[in-house]
């Protein structure tokens, strides 16, 4: 099971995105937080910004839509060439239809769950998705503390994926550090978003390497014959 480290540019220098992207070349994808000041009480970037990032980024884009009305907006991000587009379960009543549209356009389709949202209703829908994002903070702001109370959801998801032929990435986002990544990896996550811990480091490449190493050594099933 490969681990992925996706730095969040919410913690980057907004005046210098191109050079900030250069500091995280050893990462897997670039996590881009889209907030609309409706679904969450904060406002970040929109489609025009992502179209430009897509042109200059050496890494594929992992779009996290914290917006109302994802049916209206999400397909545009896929059309812009984003590798992965994740919308929130709480923002739509038709998650499967939207995921199918995203896949049809050519993006991986992700569904995100706020800390208080139960994963159980989605467990039977997993073949429709390429990623489940288990939020480990309340969405809206970087720099918050990891909520360990969300880990049972990862265990439920990992149990479904294990032994199946699903190609489903299990992502965590919020408060991921070299300490908390161990907890999330052991619970079953394989894709880790990290904002402040990467961009706040003196040496982001060294921090990415450390996160990768900690995720690998604590990954679900480590210490036995599972892979
Ligand atoms: C929070 C965002 C996160 C945020 C994580 O709503 O979805 O992606 O950038 O930032 P850190 O790693 O600082 O918690
Ligand atoms: Zn995010």
Catalytic residue (choose from 36, 130, 173, 190): 173
| Gap from CA of 139 to ligand 1 centroid (Å) | 7
What's the mean per-residue pLDDT of the chain? 96
Cross-strand partners of 171: 133, 191
Can you list the domains of the chain with their CATH numbers? Answer: 4-218 (3.20.20.70)
What's the pLDDT score for residue 225?
41
Measured CA to CA in angstroms, residue 25 lies from 5, 20, 57, 164, 202 at distances of 11, 9, 9, 32, 15
Q: Residue with the nearest Cα to atom 12 of ligand 1?
A: 195
33 is catalytic: yes
Q: How many CB atoms lie within 10 A of CB 111?
A: 24
With a 6 Å cutoff on the Cβ, whether 144 touches ligand 1 is yes
Q: Which residues of the chain have pLDDT under 50?
A: 224-227
List the end-to-end C-alpha distance of the chain, in Å, as a whole number. Answer: 6
| Gap from CA of 16 to ligand 2 centroid (Å) | 19
What's the pLDDT score for residue 223?
56
What's the pLDDT score for residue 60?
98
| Gap from CA of 139 to ligand 2 centroid (Å) | 7
């Amino acid at each position: 099971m490969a681990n992925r480290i996706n730095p969040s540019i919410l913690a980057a220098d907004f005046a210098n995105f191109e050079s900030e992207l250069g500091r995280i070349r050893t990462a897997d994808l670039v996590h881009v937080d889209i907030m609309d000041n409706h679904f969450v009480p904060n406002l970040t970037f929109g489609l025009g910004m992502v179209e430009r990032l897509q042109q200059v980024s050496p890494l594929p884009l992992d779009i996290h839509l914290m917006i109302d009305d994802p049916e209206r907006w999400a397909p545009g991000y896929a059309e812009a060439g984003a590798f992965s587009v994740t919308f929130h379960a709480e923002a739509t009543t038709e998650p499967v239809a939207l995921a199918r549209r995203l896949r049809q356009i050519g993006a991986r389709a992700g569904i995100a769950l706020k800390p208080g949202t139960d994963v159980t209703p989605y467990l039977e829908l997993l073949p429709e998705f390429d990623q489940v994002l288990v939020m480990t903070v309340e969405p809206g702001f970087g720099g918050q503390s990891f909520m360990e109370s969300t880990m049972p959801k990862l265990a439920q998801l990992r149990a479904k994926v294990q032994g199946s032929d699903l190609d489903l990435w299990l992502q965590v986002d919020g408060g991921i550090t070299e300490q908390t990544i161990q907890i999330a990896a052991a619970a079953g996550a394989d894709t880790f978003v990290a904002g402040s811990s990467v961009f706040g480091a003196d040496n982001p490449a060294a921090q990415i390497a450390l996160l990768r190493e900690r995720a690998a050594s604590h990954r679900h099933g480590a210490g036995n014959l599972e892979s």
